[in-house]
Amino acid sequence: MSTSSDVDLDEVYSFALDLAKQAGKMLDDAWRARCDGGPQTGHVEKESAVDLVTQTDEDVEAFIKQEIASKFPIHKFIGEETYSKGSSKEYLIGKEPTWCIDPLDGTVNYIHIFPMFCVSIGFILDGEPAIGVIHAPFLNQTFSACRGKGAWLNGTQRLPLIRNPIPPMPQDAPKGCVFSCEWGKDRRDQPDGNLHRKVESFFNMAAEIGGRQGKGGMVHGVRSLGSATLDLAYCAMGAFDIWWEGGCWEWDVAAGICLLKEAGGLVTTANPPTDPSTARIEDTKLGGRLYLAIRPAGDTEQETGRQGQERTVREVWRRVRHLDYPRPGA
């Protein structure tokens, strides 16, 4: 087994950046060919009518896997499409250097050619995301981060964008925050099922202060992009203050978590603990499928940025419901 001491992170980072751009060009070429009357992207349903895979997903993943195998033959590889075809959905990331890839995040957007789709390339060292590259070719936006080197937009603008100084969390967060959330793929209309719990949570976050039996959060705005990866990228940028979601897999978030942490953000679990006001706020587990992300935040005279983030986490937890997304084998 290869170990972290064998890894030259600079070399891997530079390779990952190049790889993301090549993969992004494949996505770009494929949708442009469709515009010009070329073959329309066929897609097949995976687990439901809104869980889709296209031939492009599979082609891009095969390309990425092949490039990595040529350059770093001893590294482990986990990609959305190859993984989904396996029989189990166990968490397979251990201590060894591992690539964790989503060749196309935002598949529904891609099929409809809504620009919010991207390639997501994460590299995991000792179980933690150490490199993340997210490339959105239609938007011409590349988000990237490497452990200890900060997070960047297009290699030139350090994230978060506003950083001299970085704004603290609003005093009365979630009021004043942009709240990002996704309707997701579980659309079953079951009393107290995930969809009901999500809608109740979104509603609480949006409603006026004092509304919803005291749970109204009066957020500045509610946004849904259809890409967990880009939700995390925009949190790292500082554009989204809060992202709350359940049901993602590690390839959806590996690169984004690296990006957010390098920018100074926080990621913990979406599900409120028994006592949201005092529970210890632990870093999310990469394969936990439940995520609550808070943007980078500056200090004030009253509290540190981290304290402001934790205060925001507790205020979100007070307003959201538990979600039920099991981790098979966990």
Smallest separation (angstroms) from a second copy to the CB of 129 = 23
Write out the two tokens for 205. 């976050």
Question: From CA 247, how far away is CA 326, in angstroms rounded?
Answer: 8
Smallest separation (angstroms) from a second copy to the CB of 213 = 9
Q: Do 185 and 45 meet the contact criterion of CB atoms below 8 Å apart?
A: no
If one asks whether residue 212 binds a second copy (CB under 8 A), the answer comes out as yes
> How many C-beta atoms surround the C-beta of residue 93 within 10 A?
18
Omega of the bond leading into 103 within 30 degrees of 0 (cis): no
Cα-based angle 123, 124, 127 (whole degrees, multiple of 5): 170
* φ, ψ at 157 (rounded to 5°): -105, 115
Q: Which of residues 55-84 bind a second copy (CB under 8 A)?
A: none
Q: Which residue in the block uniquely carries the two structure tokens 């990425």?
A: 64
Question: From CA 286, how far away is CA 250, in angstroms rounded?
Answer: 6
The piece of 95-103, 161-169, 303-311, 321-329 that touches a second copy (CB under 8 A) is 161-169
Q: Which of residues 30-59 bind a second copy (CB under 8 A)?
A: 31, 34-37, 40, 49-50
If one asks whether residue 164 binds a second copy (CB under 8 A), the answer comes out as yes
Smallest separation (angstroms) from a second copy to the CB of 215 = 9
Nearer to a second copy, 140 or 304 (CB): 140
Nearer to a second copy, 223 or 285 (CB): 223
Site string for a second copy, 220-259 (x = CB under 8 A): xxxxxxx-------x--xxxxx------------------
Q: Which residue in the block uniquely carries the two structure tokens 């967990």?
A: 228
If one asks whether residue 166 binds a second copy (CB under 8 A), the answer comes out as no
Pairing, β 128-136 against β 43-45: unpaired
Smallest separation (angstroms) from a second copy to the CB of 266 = 17
Write out the two tokens for 134. 């997210």
Question: From CA 114, how far away is CA 5, in angstroms rounded?
Answer: 41
If one asks whether residue 298 binds a second copy (CB under 8 A), the answer comes out as no
Provide CB contacts within 8 A for 90, sequence distance 6+: 328, 329, 330
Smallest separation (angstroms) from a second copy to the CB of 181 = 9
Nearer to a second copy, 94 or 210 (CB): 210
The piece of 214-222, 244-252, 255-263, 321-329 that touches a second copy (CB under 8 A) is 214-222
Q: Do 260 and 236 meet the contact criterion of CB atoms below 8 Å apart?
A: yes
Question: From CA 207, how far away is CA 202, in angstroms rounded?
Answer: 9
- In the list 104, 206, 293, 297, the residue contacting a second copy (rule: CB under 8 A) is 206
- In the list 11, 66, 74, 162, the residue contacting a second copy (rule: CB under 8 A) is 162
Which residues lie near a second copy (CB under 8 A)?
A: 31, 34-37, 40, 49-50, 108-109, 111-115, 139-140, 157, 161-165, 167, 175-176, 178, 183, 187-189, 195, 199, 202-203, 206-208, 210-212, 216, 218-226, 234, 237-241
